[in-house]
Each structure stands twice: as structure tokens, then as C-alpha cells.
Amino acid sequence: MDLLYEQIPQDEATEEIPAVTVADLAAFTPQRPSFAAEPAGLGVAGLPTNVIAGASEHTIAGTLFGRPVTVRFTPVGFRFDYGDGAISTTSTGGAPWAALGQAQFTPTPTSHTFVSPGDYTVTVSVAYAAVVDFGVTTRAVNGTVVADAAPQALRVLEARTALVNQTCAQNPRGPGC
């Protein structure tokens, strides 16, 4: 019995797909993270202010190398610039004090203690790992794609305390009332 071999043209789906770089993803912009500060966008000098960034895994469809693809972005790092010279890098975006079961003005992985009262601009950047799905195979992208939250103004106030004989309800004209 004779065997015959026929060369079959390589199907486009099985052609070699090149490695994907961060530069290749220029047309794919990950979602901008959300940003909040507790309490209510204010801080108190000398006490922790809780800064929270929200980012989650998401996908974006498009075309890369002439092929339809889906890019999955997964947050892997958060960079907080508190506007006073302090910068923190974490693996989490943080959470509200209530969700952490903590009292207000207690330290969190993303909180910051401002030394001086004043107005500060706080920025948050999220680093996303990217994986490109070509339908027949996936390619992890070496490096990360960064998305910035909108800068937030934060007012840090000074708190002053005094020992007094009566509460403000008892003596509305008392010190600090």
C-alpha cells in the first residue's frame, strides 16, 4: 500500500502569532480607576486619611496584528502619590474603614498621615497586567499598562482639642462651641 502526502496550506488560525508588547496595546486603553478618600475627601493633620482606588479585571475587544482579539486587563499594582512628597505602592486599592471593620482615622494599607494642614492633590495610578486572547491561543504581555484616576483635591484640616467643664449642649457659649 502506497501512502500519499498532500501539503495542506497553513490556516490563518494556526499561523505563528508574534509576542505582544505593551507598545502593541496602544489602541487598548484600560478603564480609569475610581478614587475616593475618607472621611468625605477631608483629612486631619496627624491622623490617617484613608485613600481608596477602585479597579477590577475587565476585557476590551479590538484588532491586533490584523486579527480580532480580546485583551483582559487585571489590576496588579497601585501607586498613590499623596501630594506632599509621599508615595506608596501597594498590591491593593484599599477599602473603606467600615468594610475593613475599622474605626475612622485608623491606619489601612492605603492610608496616609499628613503632617501639615493644607490643600493637596492626590493621584492614583493602577498597573494592569494584560493577556491577549487571539481565539486560538493567548499571549501574556510582558510589562504592565498604567491607567490614572482623575486627580483629587484633598483638604487636610488641623484639629484642636481642649478640656472643658461642660458640653456645648450644656453651655453653648463655652470654649470651642
Which domains can be identified in the chain, with CATH numbers?
12-157 (2.60.40.10)
126-160: b (≥16 Cβ within 10 Å) or e: bbbbbebebeeeebebeebbebebeebebebeeee
Which among 46, 54, 120 has a CA at the least distance from the CA of 83? 120
Which range is least confidently modeled, 32-41, 84-93, 114-123? 32-41
Question: pLDDT tens, 10-46?
Answer: 455 446 888 899 999 999 999 999 999 998 889 999 9
- DSSP H/E element including 100: helix 97-100
**pLDDT of the residue at 10:** 47
The predicted model gives 46-67 an average pLDDT of: 95
C-beta of residue 146 within 8 angstroms of C-beta of residue 125 = yes
pLDDT value for 162: 73
Residue 154 near residue 83 (C-beta atoms within 8 A)? yes
pLDDT higher than 80, residue 177: no
Distance CA 141, CA 131 (A): 6
Q: Please give the model's pTM, rounded to 2 decimal places.
A: 0.79
Grid cell at residue 72: 483582559
Region 98-107: what's the mean pLDDT?
95
